[in-house]
Structure formats: structure tokens, C-alpha cells
Amino acid sequence: MMQVVKRKSMALTTILAFLIMGVGHIYLGRVKRGFVIFVIGFVASIVLSAMSGMILPQGETGPLTDDTVVLGIFLCLVVVMLGLFAWQIADAREQCRRYNDSLV
């Protein structure tokens, strides 16, 4: 008896990767890769949230008095995070294509 292996949905892979970083990879069976992406995204989100609290309104003082440096680091991290987010969606789609091509 022959076992039928189903193709993975490109649309579902993309939606999962868009909603939660790494979940598109997990759906494709790339659990380790998906988990690493998830953890990196989760930690980066926590760091960005913590840093956003350090950027203070004009005239106030806080733990870091040089808001320009904090803002610069924060913006760099945002750019890196957006790049990682876009990459993991594109990579999940590529992994889905490879998975489906391997079934032919």
C-alpha cells in the first residue's frame, strides 16, 4: 500500500509566517529552524519593548539621559527586526516550494 504525502499550502505557510515568526517553518516540519526564528523574534520584541520605555518625552530624565543614542539603537533594532520578519516569510515560502517540488 502506497502512502500519500500531501503538498503543503503556500498560502497557509505565508499566513502563519506573517502572524507569528517561525510558525510557517514549523508547519512545514522545519521545527528546529522555526523554533530558533520564533525565539529570536520573541527576544527582539522584548528588547524593543524595553527600549521604547527608555525613550522619554522632551525635558524628562530617566535611566539614560542621552535619548539620541537610545533612539538610534532602537531604530537600528527596528530595521533589523523588520528585515528578519521579511526574510523569515520569504524563507518559509521558499521552503514550502522546495518541499512541494520534492514530492513530484
pTM value?
A: 0.81
Collapsing DSSP to helix, strand or coil, 79 comes out as helix
Domain boundaries, the chain: 10-98
pLDDT tens sequence across 30-61? 999 999 999 999 999 898 888 877 665 555 55
Q: Please name the helix (run of DSSP H) or strand (run of DSSP E) that holds residue 84, with its range, or none.
A: helix 67-102
What dihedral angle (degrees, nearest 10) is formed by the CA atoms of 94, 98, 100, 102? 180
pLDDT, tens digit, 9 for 90 and up, residues 57-98:
555 555 555 667 778 888 898 999 999 999 999 999 999 999
